[in-house]
Structure 1
């Protein structure tokens, strides 16, 4: 990788010398005996010396500052990002908060079943959204210690998948997951709808993570910008709207009537998945590298955003930085694709 560098800075110009103060020391009368002792140095009673004039501005520099490449030479910013990973509100708490705040978004004629796994949070530095999403997913696949983000960045750079942390290929992300996390990785093609829909939902209901490229709106939700706002999220949960909750293995939430959770440690009768033509009945529980919280995204909205990732962002193309984009561009690398991850010993 070739990185433009700034020219060496010229030595600073020393401040101009100022003449010594001409102030005279004037004898002071003795202090009254009943006053407390003052904690001022003797020089503070001298006539104040005017401060020296400010330094001249630094000489202008030419060229551009080198872009920061994440993961190189034990990056200081990367270390800070890793240190910020910590406990955050759980997925169930986030969902209940969203259901209370946005009651009008969720159909009142349905009962809701929440399948979810808790994901940690890590706020990304630079264009690392895909690697941060993979790191979050890795906490459900790897041992409790997890795989450090620094390791993911290092392997991705060594294999030529990225320069600055960007990931514009679902296939490369799958290869990286297999090597660095030791998991199964399935590249899904043809979009999240149609025959793929039930496969995706069953995968998430089983507690396995799903990595999804999409266009990110100002509030981090999916939108349609032709790939100009391409971003990555990880989903490890789903909120299903059903007509009837199966009688085996579910309990109603004590705070929110109509919301049901699988009972841990007991067998569950799988619910009937809502049909694709049933709008507003399926919400993916997603997380991405710009927020501490989980979000609920309408499945059809995610599907449509994922299907229109076709163009590389003009602002990125003009920013003077280097990016790894596969042959065929964003359309070939991201459009209509997702990554399903499972532990290595998983049979389904």
Structure 2
């Protein structure tokens, strides 16, 4: 059965050393000052050298008075490199490509299939079988999934896993629950509005889509002393050490400037993306309306009683083996 929306608090599961576990990033150091060497000095400058500008002031968090700051993805070399190193999801790339061409509204089933490759990598279920089961049980007409509850039922039956229904959004008391779940190495299925670049946006549910998150990237002030090793290629990036017990770092408070990114993937891209946690939370919490373009396209869709708001808004699935 699907767990109730407000399950009793469980003892956190100790993190397992999986490849999808959360890398931990302390804030990058400020770039050193260097002169502009694009042009050679003019003769006059050799006679009367111009004094160099004063050095850049240290960032505010260097004193420990403020939370660490991690630059945005478009500016952070460290985050870009971490994203580039994230490999494609396990499974058959050509198989997913072929099926997506045949059924464009199967993002939820594709996300569930990708989660299945992590939960049971040696006994994966074909995507065609997920589609067949969803239609036979009345969860879907052509691959669409507008009910998190139905997705949980399908996950339990098809993958033989535990599926916990999370209600009330990804913030508040659910935030630590989600992060601890990801740190333990388990996947999260979350509906959201998809922007043109596949990232979360806010379109009132008109662009409703599904993604699977398999890890978390944390910007922290310090790394725990034992159980973690620095990445040999990316200084400042730390991973849990296989076979070593490690204590998860203190999670940044919800209202703080600490950085929390979800390592996420959805069926329209071959690569993982790093999404700001609050951006995912806000997108998931505003799924309220059925897309007018879908309503007018003449196709059939299975939408639960109460519509998109009742089926998707503020809900997610925590999957465990």
TM over 0.5: yes
Say whether residues 1:320 and 2:293 are aligned partners: no
Say whether residues 1:119 and 2:97 are aligned partners: no
Instruction: For 1:1-348, list aligned pairs within 5 A.
Output: 102=73, 104=75, 119-120=89-90, 122-123=96-97, 124=100, 125-279=103-257, 281-343=259-321
- Distance in 2 (CA, whole Å) between partners of 1:183 and 1:291 is 25
Name the count of aligned residue pairs: 244
Alignment partner of 2:164: what SS? strand
- Distance in 1 (CA, whole Å) between partners of 2:119 and 2:87 is 12
Residues 254-263 or 282-291, more deviating: 254-263
Using the size of structure 1 for normalisation, the TM-score is: 0.66
Contact 1:207 1:237 in 2 (8 A): yes
Contact 2:89 2:270 in 1 (8 A): no
What RMSD in Å do the two structures reach over aligned CA positions? 2.7
- Distance in 1 (CA, whole Å) between partners of 2:126 and 2:282 is 32
**1:244–1:103 Cα change, 3 Å:** farther
**1:267–1:118 Cα change, 3 Å:** farther
Alignment partner of 1:236: what SS? strand
- Distance in 2 (CA, whole Å) between partners of 1:117 and 1:182 is 26
Contact 1:107 1:280 in 2 (8 A): no
Using the size of structure 2 for normalisation, the TM-score is: 0.71
**1:187–1:167 Cα change, 3 Å:** same
Contact 1:215 1:222 in 2 (8 A): yes
Alignment partner of 1:176: what SS? helix
**1:279–1:244 Cα change, 3 Å:** same
**1:198–1:118 Cα change, 3 Å:** farther
Contact 2:193 2:283 in 1 (8 A): yes
1:251-286 CA distance string (max 9 Å, x none) = 111222211111111111221111101235100000
After TM superposition, give the deviation of residue 107 of structure 1 in Å: 9.8
Residues 306-315 or 148-157, more deviating: 148-157
- Distance in 2 (CA, whole Å) between partners of 1:225 and 1:328 is 18
Alignment partner of 1:140: what SS? helix
**1:203–1:101 Cα change, 3 Å:** closer
After TM superposition, give the deviation of residue 145 of structure 1 in Å: 3.3
Alignment partner of 2:124: what SS? coil
Alignment partner of 1:207: what SS? coil
**1:342–1:259 Cα change, 3 Å:** same
Q: Which runs of 5+ in 2 are unaligned?
A: 1-18, 26-69
After TM superposition, give the deviation of residue 102 of structure 1 in Å: 3.8
1:70-89 CA distance string (max 9 Å, x none) = xxxxxxxxxxxxxxxxxxxx
1:18-75 CA distance string (max 9 Å, x none) = xxxxxxxxxxxxxxxxxxxxxxxxxxxxxxxxxxxxxxxxxxxxxxxxxxxxxxxxxx
Give the 4+ runs in structure 1 shifted more than 6 A.
none
